[in-house]
């Protein structure tokens, strides 16, 4: 077998050596042509020397005036796999010789792909970039975006801990017993929404919630300033995947999660929204939006509508001028029952004005922040059965926070 040695020299004089083993000379084209296409170089001036005892050396120089940066992400260099395991009779690559230190790697982007444990493995941390499809009309992330990121971090926490079974966030012992986690309550407080392209850092951890529940908390920070911009807390219980009935936490499951419990609160108890959410009716609701139909894509792996989808339906009955001129700064959701793809829903909303004075108790109207508080209900349209009760708080976008 002939060994080929590839030495690449760019306009910036950055060099790297990659040793490849091929059974046929024609196989080198499979490497050179894709590299040229993705930006390693735009033209090749090659000098080939065959050394039977050593290697075939190809020296390639890039003639492009604007060479692309080389990025290695998930085993790819500029989109091409270069870190695959050797296979019999096929090209193999030494992973230690693929990418040298002189190739620039975007560290924050690299970190987005992998979470990690911190603080003695009690806290799981992951970094995300706010994408263009995760923002609203004002170019900032939406409440649904934040909830999706919280859910993603929670699922990755379970997977990275080594507890994951074959269910959607379920542990191995839960999977054996056909059990799944379902959220019963979540409360989110937003200090500031991130903008398109911002990088956020999310911490999450779990603790016991009574005898048969689990509490999961999150903190979202601005990655660069480390400012805490969102806090969230939630309560989860166990349900049988087939009977759809709630279940006590089996002792085997409790022993799995107990080592990860951390007695810490993202939201102080005195600041948590624990007040009862009143039930809305046709008589008490100010606005009712009917005919809301879940789509197939709204279903999750546990065969019910993903809990994040409810937020969009709840906001369907909020006045448009509120959505345009106010920021949703706090939201509490109490989940009452599942929703399936065949369900037809109604969204009810009632509101009341809420005025918060500034920290100096100045009664001057210019120094006061006017906010709104809403009560919501999402229910079945046919039998009026409750699905979610919710409460939301809003602050004007045109008044700078103190």
Which residue numbers are catalytic? 302, 304, 339
Label residue 291 exposed, middle or buried (CB < 10 Å: 0-12, 13-18, 19+). exposed
Tell me which residue of 311, 373, 380 sits closest to 339, measured CA to CA: 380
Instruction: Pinpoint the alpha helices (H) of 102-261.
Output: 107-112, 143-160, 172-176, 251-257
What the block records as the tokens of 99 is 């990418």
Distance between CA atoms of residues 149 and 128, nearest Å? 8
3-state secondary structure of 313: helix
Tell me which residue of 334, 340, 308 sits closest to 152, measured CA to CA: 308
**Residue with the two structure tokens 């929404």:** 193
Cα dihedral sign, 275-280-284-285 = positive
Tell me which residue of 290, 119, 135, 148 sits closest to 232, measured CA to CA: 148
Cα 311 from chain centroid (whole Å): 16
Tell me which residue of 145, 272, 150, 264 sits closest to 218, measured CA to CA: 150
- Residue 278 DSSP one-character state: P
363 contacts 357 by C-beta, under 8 angstroms: yes
- Residue 377 DSSP one-character state: E
Tell me which residue of 119, 103, 376 sits closest to 263, measured CA to CA: 119
């Amino acid at each position: 077998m002939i060994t080929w040695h590839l030495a690449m020299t760019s306009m910036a004089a950055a060099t790297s050596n990659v040793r490849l083993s091929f059974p046929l000379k024609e196989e080198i084209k499979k490497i050179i042509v894709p590299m040229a296409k993705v930006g390693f170089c735009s033209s090749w001036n090659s000098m080939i020397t065959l050394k039977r005892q050593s290697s075939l050396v190809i020296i390639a120089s890039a003639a492009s005036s604007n060479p692309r940066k080389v990025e290695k992400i998930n085993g790819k260099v500029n989109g091409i796999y270069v870190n695959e395991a050797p296979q019999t009779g096929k090209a193999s690559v030494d992973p230690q010789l693929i990418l040298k230190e002189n190739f620039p790697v975007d560290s924050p982007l690299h970190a987005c792909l992998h979470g990690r444990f911190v603080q003695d493995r009690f806290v799981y941390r992951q970094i995300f970039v706010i994408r263009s499809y995760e923002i609203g009309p004002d170019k900032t992330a939406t409440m649904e975006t934040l909830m999706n990121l919280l859910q993603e971090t929670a699922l990755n926490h379970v997977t990275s801990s080594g507890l994951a079974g074959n269910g959607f966030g379920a542990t191995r012992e839960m999977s054996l017993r056909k059990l799944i986690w379902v959220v019963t309550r979540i409360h989110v407080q937003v200090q500031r929404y991130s903008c398109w392209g911002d990088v956020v850092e999310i911490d999450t951890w779990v603790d016991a919630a009574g005898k048969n529940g689990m509490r999961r908390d999150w903190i979202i920070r601005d990655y660069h300033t480390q400012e805490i911009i969102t806090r969230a807390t939630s309560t989860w219980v166990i349900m049988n995947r087939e009977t759809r009935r709630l279940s006590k936490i089996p002792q085997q499951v409790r022993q799995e999660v107990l080592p990860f419990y951390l007695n810490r609160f993202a939201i102080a108890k005195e600041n948590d929204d624990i007040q009862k959410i009143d039930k809305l009716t046709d008589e008490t609701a100010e606005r009712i939006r009917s005919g809301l139909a879940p789509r197939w894509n709204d279903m999750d792996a546990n065969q019910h509508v993903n809990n994040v989808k409810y937020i969009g339906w709840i906001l369907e009955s909020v006045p448009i001028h509120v959505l345009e001129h106010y920021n949703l700064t706090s939201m509490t959701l109490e989940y009452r029952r599942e929703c399936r793809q065949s369900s037809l829903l109604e969204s009810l909303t009632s509101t009341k004005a809420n005025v918060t004075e500034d920290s100096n108790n100045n009664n001057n109207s210019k120094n006061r922040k006017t906010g709104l508080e809403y009560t919501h209900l999402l229910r079945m349209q046919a039998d009026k059965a409750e699905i979610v009760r919710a409460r939301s708080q809003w602050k004007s976008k045109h008044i700078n926070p103190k």
